[in-house]
């Protein structure tokens, strides 16, 4: 429908007028948010909490659809191609920015294929290993990884995933490439880490906190400047002796390009309400993260963040020299 409208000239203007009229009564049916990773992982967890609160505010069901693969770019492509009517949205993280450099042939245009709804949250990362890993500190893990580089496996959710970015930074900071194992999301990757089928993973606290607290994985460091209240015994990467690994995984909510401004505005308002929801705040706190402030849950803030993050990561990724087609 999107492409047809573009070709119809005057008729398109009439259709768009009708569309705007529809925007005033939006939403009239359920909304789908595409999570570009497998169910049960960190992006899924954040999205389901936000979707539930947005449902209450919008008076319509907001359901989550998991479209995992290729570091999140498959799900992003699906939303880029969707009708721009506000009924199919995308919740994607920092991968929206890093994929722009990582992929030589991205099947959409990062800065042109989407409307921006707003920032959702920024989540710390944790460096983990399977429970019976011999190393007890990050320094010991680095020594072990260097000595066993051809057999140490590192799980990630594909090129463009946060776990991929963190693993890439880890390998470049220790100067040793390790064996990477891609999954459709760190939900299934965590299952393998818990089962001991994979050795190391770097993943968001929204997926790792409960396992660290339960002692079912070994945690070596968090990527924040300060320790987290929910994980007081886990040192920061800097404290643990690894430089250049302070970063957070920010998430944004997007709509397909051409979604009417009134609809985007309604969605931003709803996102702002959801981020103040008591359940969202409480669950985010338990998971070691906080909702984005109201001023950031806006199209302008998300656009600015995406642009600055593309610029920030481009030279880092180019230096690491890992690209995908």
The residues pairing with 201 across neighbouring beta strands, listed in sequence order, are: 128, 155
Does 161 contact ligand ASP by CB under 6 A? yes
Phi-psi map region of 91: left, alpha, beta (phi>0 left; psi -120 to 50 alpha): beta
Give the residue with the Cβ less far from ligand ASP, 217 or 263: 217
Phi, psi of 64 (to 5 degrees): -105, 135
Interface residue with ligand ASP among 37, 87, 114, 247 (CB under 6 A) is 37
Interface residue with ligand ASP among 75, 84, 187, 291 (CB under 6 A) is 187
Give the residue with the Cβ less far from ligand ASP, 145 or 161: 161
Q: Are 177 and 171 in contact (CB under 8 A)?
A: yes
Q: Are 189 and 39 in contact (CB under 8 A)?
A: no
Interface residue with ligand ASP among 23, 31, 43, 317 (CB under 6 A) is 43
- CA dist 99 and 254 (Å) reads 16
Which helix H or strand E contains 145, and what residues bound it?
A: helix 138-147
- Coil, strand or helix at 197: coil
Does 157 contact ligand ASP by CB under 6 A? yes
Q: Map residues 60-99 to x or -, x wherever contact with ligand ASP holds by CB under 6 A.
A: ---------------------------------x-x----
Candidates 6-14, 144-152, 159-167, 304-312: pick the segment binding ligand ASP (CB under 6 A).
159-167
- CA dist 314 and 325 (Å) reads 16
**Which positions from 249 through 268 interact with ligand ASP, judged by CB under 6 A?**
none
Residues near ligand ASP (CB under 6 A)? 37-38, 41-44, 93, 95, 157, 161-163, 185-187, 203
């Amino acid at each position: 429908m999107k492409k047809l409208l573009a070709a119809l000239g005057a008729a398109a203007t009439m259709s768009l007028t009708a569309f705007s009229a529809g925007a005033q009564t939006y939403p009239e049916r359920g909304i789908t948010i595409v999570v570009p990773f497998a169910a049960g992982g960190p992006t899924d967890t954040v999205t389901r909490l936000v979707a539930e609160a947005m449902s209450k505010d919008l008076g319509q069901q907001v359901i989550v659809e998991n479209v995992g693969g290729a570091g999140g770019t498959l799900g992003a492509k699906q939303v880029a191609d969707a009708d721009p009517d506000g009924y199919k949205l995308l919740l994607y993280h920092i991968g929206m920015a890093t994929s722009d450099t990582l992929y030589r042939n991205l099947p959409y245009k990062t800065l042109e294929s989407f409307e921006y709804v707003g920032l959702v949250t920024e989540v710390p990362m944790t460096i983990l290993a399977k429970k019976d890993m011999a190393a007890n500190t990050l320094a010991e893990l680095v020594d072990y990884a260097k000595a066993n580089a051809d057999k140490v496996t590192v799980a990630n959710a594909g090129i463009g995933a946060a776990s991929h970015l963190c693993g890439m930074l880890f390998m470049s900071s220790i100067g040793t490439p390790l064996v990477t194992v891609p999954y459709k999301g760190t939900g299934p990757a965590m299952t393998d880490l818990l089962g001991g089928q994979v050795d190391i993973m770097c993943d968001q606290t929204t997926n790792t906190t409960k396992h660290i607290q339960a002692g079912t994985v070994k945690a070596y460091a968090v990527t924040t400047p300060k320790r987290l209240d929910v994980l007081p015994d886990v040192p920061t990467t800097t404290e643990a002796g690894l430089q250049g690994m302070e970063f957070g995984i920010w998430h944004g909510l997007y709509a397909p390009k051409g979604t009417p401004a009134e609809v985007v505005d309604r969605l931003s308002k709803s996102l702002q309400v959801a981020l103040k929801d008591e359940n969202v705040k409480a669950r985010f706190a338990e998971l070691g993260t906080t909702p984005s402030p109201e001023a950031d849950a806006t199209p302008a803030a998300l656009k600015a963040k995406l642009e600055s993050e593309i610029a920030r990561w481009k030279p880092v990724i180019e230096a690491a020299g890992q690209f995908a087609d």
